Structure 1
Amino acid sequence: METKYVVAKILTWVFILAEIVLVAVCVIHRTDVTPSLKALFVLLLFLGIGFWDKYAHRPQDQDD
């Protein structure tokens, strides 16, 4: 596997795990969900999806 794909998969999982931890901390501490917390959640979500979509899977070789 190329380094670019490995790094992208690692970053994707880092963003996903950060989002899970953020939600868990909010639930455990019963934190009020502020607009900045919502923005952080959405940012992590889009970063995870974006890295996965753009970098984390190899383009398929097409035989024409």
Structure 2
Amino acid sequence: MTNTKKYLIMAAIYFIVLLAIQYLFEAFDTSSEHQDVSLRKLIVSPLISTIFFIAIQYYIEKRAIKKQTGSK
């Protein structure tokens, strides 16, 4: 499996899990101010978290490869 496919699969799984958690929190929130939930509001937070997660994972993996090869 190439790195690109691996990162896309990880991002998709992570995003879906975060989206489901976000949806559940919004669905069970009974306060009146949170009743109007837009799709954009629901997706933005998990999307940002997914981007940061993949960036950190990429950095960790590249750093590990550098340590294995001995280059700096």
Q: Normalised by the size of structure 2, how large is the TM-score? A: 0.46
Match of 1:2? Answer: 2
The number of residues matched between the two structures is: 43
For the pair shown, the structure with the greater C-alpha radius of gyration is 2
Root mean square deviation of aligned Cα: 2.4
Match of 2:36? Answer: 33
Amino acid at match of 1:39: R
Structure 2 stretches of 5 or more lacking a match? 48-72
Structure 1 stretches of 5 or more lacking a match? 46-64
Q: Which has the higher helix share?
A: 2
User: 1:14-64 CA distances to partner (integer Å, 9 max, x unpaired)?
Assistant: 111111011110122223224xx431335569xxxxxxxxxxxxxxxxxxx
Query: Could you tell me how far apart the structure 1 residues matched to 2:42 and 2:29 are?
Result: 16
